[in-house]
Amino acid sequence: MTHASLSSGTPAPRTDADLIGSNRRFYDALWSEAKLFAPQRFNTWPLVAELVGRSTRRLEIAPGLRPRLPLTDTQFADLSRPALAELARHGARVANAMIGALPFRDGSFDFVCAFDILEHVVDDDGALAELARVAEPGASLLISVPLHPAAWTAFDDFVGHYRRYEPEAIRALLARHDFHIERSAVYGMQPKSSKLLDLGQWFLTHQRARAMWWYNRVFMPLGVRFQKPLRLEPGFSPAPGVDEILLVCRKGDL
């Protein structure tokens, strides 16, 4: 897999320890001050509700306090202890674990979900191998990733992205682990304005507490309120300029 930032300067290689450290610095602080958003508030809910209707054993990886699957009868795995504590307080089953080392038996789940995770992981091939291991044959996989290495910005560095994917690269990576794309949709709530992103990064760097307050109490609720409905299309043929994609996959032959 080509490193996403080769087109705009290569960051130093990262280890799992680096990932854990950056998670604790950024996301533990974020979730410590955040409120849990119910899955029904996101534009993914109609799709999730459809897939939940034919599943009984569900897993969501690293949701933080923005879970997309129902809290009841779903297993959640995350590195952030503040997020896990809040999820558990609302009745969810939780495990402190990384995507590349899941503490579950082979074929444990018939619906696996990982939003905005794969781009953060050094060994994305190993991570998908783990998802394939815990997913039974015929299981659904709901996953989102950012596209196009050439679209790399300082925001990717700031939030800890390790790569962006060319469409054919993510398709091939999924297929290598027997996940086949059934449907896709443009996805994500990243601001389009580079000046707004720069301002947000400045506040997160220099006035983190204030920035977290505004994000959790103002910008996130507004972003959720003004989400556009997902427009799912058969297969996966993203138009030029699409920043992030949501993929509905099936384990096994189509």
What phi and psi, each to the nearest 5 degrees, are found at residue 229? -60, 145
Q: What is the pLDDT, as a whole number, of residue 29?
A: 67
**H or E segment at 155?**
helix 154-158
Q: What is the pLDDT, as a whole number, of residue 7?
A: 33
Amino acid residing at 204:
L
Q: How far apart are CA 52 and CA 69, in angstroms?
A: 8
Q: What is the pLDDT, as a whole number, of residue 112?
A: 98
Q: What is the pLDDT, as a whole number, of residue 254?
A: 54
pLDDT by residue, tens only, the chain of 254 residues: 334 333 333 445 566 667 666 666 667 666 766 788 899 999 999 999 999 999 999 999 999 899 999 999 999 999 889 999 999 999 999 999 999 999 999 999 999 999 999 998 889 999 999 999 999 999 999 999 999 999 888 778 777 788 999 999 999 999 999 999 999 999 865 555 556 566 555 555 655 566 555 565 556 665 666 678 899 999 999 988 899 999 999 999 65
**8 A C-beta contact, residue 156 and residue 146:** yes
Q: How far apart are CA 149 and CA 206, in angstroms?
A: 28
Q: What is the pLDDT, as a whole number, of residue 210?
A: 60
β-pairing, 109-115 with 58-61?
parallel
CATH superfamily of 4-190+229-251: Vaccinia Virus protein VP39 (3.40.50.150)
Q: Give whole-number Cα distances, 150 to 172, 184, 246, in Å.
A: 19, 21, 19
Q: How far apart are CA 182 and CA 142, in angstroms?
A: 10
Q: What is the pLDDT, as a whole number, of residue 239?
A: 87
**8 A C-beta contact, residue 229 and residue 114:** no
Q: How far apart are CA 13 and CA 121, in angstroms?
A: 11
Residue matched to tokens 């809040």 = 86
- Three-state DSSP at 189 gives coil
Q: Give whole-number Cα distances, 180 to 6, 102, 171, 247, in Å.
A: 28, 22, 8, 9
Q: Give whole-number Cα distances, 26 to 158, 228, 236, 245, in Å.
A: 10, 27, 32, 24
Chain-centroid distance, C-alpha 125: 16
Going by C-beta distance under 8 Å and a sequence separation of 6 or more, which residues neighbour residue 48?
39, 68, 69, 70, 113, 142
**H or E segment at 181?**
strand 179-186
Q: What is the pLDDT, as a whole number, of residue 2?
A: 38
Q: What is the pLDDT, as a whole number, of residue 4?
A: 38
β-pairing, 244-251 with 58-61?
unpaired
* Structure token digits, residue 91: 């009745």
Q: What is the pLDDT, as a whole number, of residue 9?
A: 37
Q: Give whole-number Cα distances, 184 to 30, 143, 224, 227, 245, in Å.
A: 29, 10, 20, 17, 7
Domain boundaries of the chain, sorted by first residue: 4-190+229-251
What phi and psi, each to the nearest 5 degrees, are found at residue 3? -65, 135
**8 A C-beta contact, residue 113 and residue 69:** yes
